Amino acid sequence: MFIKFYGTRGSIPVSGASTIKYGGNTTCLYIETNSGEPIIVDAGSGIRELGIYLMQNKKNNLHLVFTHYHWDHIQGFPFFAPAYSNNTSINIYGPENEVVARKALSYQMHIPFFPTIKLTDLPANFIFKKTKNKFKIGAITIQIIQNNHPNYTFGLKFNENKKAAVFLTDNELYVPHPRTPYKKFIKFVKGADLLIHDAQYIDENYKAKLGWGHSTYNQVMQLAKDGGVKKVIFTHHDPSSSDEFINNVLQAIRMEFPEYDIDAAKTGTEINL
């Protein structure tokens, strides 16, 4: 299983000298199975660059999995080059409880939000899939859990060849009235080789943002400890978090948890499991 980050930021894209290291594009994760099937998780602004890679490498049968449809997770889709190719098939998976993927993608491409081109004008072949709690794409088995986030949001666990990676973006582990209790997240991450988790806040500013659907670095480390996951990557960085800020948080967390492999997601970070 090959994993690469194309977007690591939460809420809104940011640019500038203070965000070069960890990147300013919103959420987009690329996973490739050992046999080469391309899986895209979310279509934040990072998907634009990923689309160029997929076109150059003639990846024509794609799988796009949405965790949810907030703007920062879909805003890059109108700039996704493979959607403009009639040689491309895009299998789309995502929550259906409040709104379906087709409606969310169509809505953002209507005037006044997007000029001229509608979803129905795009030449790619779109196949909208009904998503089950457990399904397969190639040799990868994907399991779903409901995250604690405003609007229905998927957490995902990818399993291939006895290796597992968990992706829990936009998830508040200690929300007062959880959709999913903390104990279920412990069970979900157990056995994983890698935990990628939303860490938008620090403890000091979390109280003012209770219920917004995001976690702190220390909360994520508690989940890793309780779930027995030794490799942790923080993601969905707050737009106000500079490279220096994230570096300082990482340094403190690594000192507190020296037995763990801890990092913050950067645009371009690659992992092989």
Tens-digit pLDDT profile for residues 220-245: 999 999 999 999 999 999 999 999 99
Burial of 83 (0-12, 13-18, 19+ CB in 10 A): buried
Check pLDDT > 90 for residue 257: yes
Distance CA 76, CA 31 (A): 17
Which amino acid is located at 157 in the chain?
A: K
- The position carrying tokens 């056995």 is 191
**With bands split at pLDDT 50, 70 and 90, how would you rate the model's confidence at 76?**
very high
Distance CA 122, CA 173 (A): 38
Beta-bridge partner residues of 146: 154
pTM recorded for the entire structure: 0.97
Q: How many CB atoms lie within 10 A of CB 174?
A: 14
Check pLDDT > 90 for residue 256: yes
> What per-residue confidence (pLDDT) applies to 191?
93
**One-character DSSP codes across 148-217:** SSSS--EEEEEEETTEEEEEE-S--TT-SS-SS-HHHHHHHHTT-SEEEEE--B-HHHHGGGTTSS--BH
Please provide the average confidence, as pLDDT, over all residues in the chain.
Answer: 97
> What per-residue confidence (pLDDT) applies to 267?
97
Residue 224, CA atoms < 13 Å, CB-side half-sphere: 29
Tens-digit pLDDT profile for residues 81-97: 999 999 999 999 999 99
Tens-digit pLDDT profile for residues 18-66: 999 999 999 999 999 999 999 999 999 999 999 999 999 999 999 999 9
**With bands split at pLDDT 50, 70 and 90, how would you rate the model's confidence at 165?**
very high
Check pLDDT > 90 for residue 176: no
Tens-digit pLDDT profile for residues 95-141: 999 999 999 999 999 999 999 899 999 999 999 999 999 999 999 99
Reading the block at residue 29, the tokens are: 């994760």
Distance CA 80, CA 47 (A): 6
> What per-residue confidence (pLDDT) applies to 116?
83
In the chain, the domains with their CATH numbers are: 2-272 (3.60.15.10)
Distance CA 54, CA 141 (A): 22
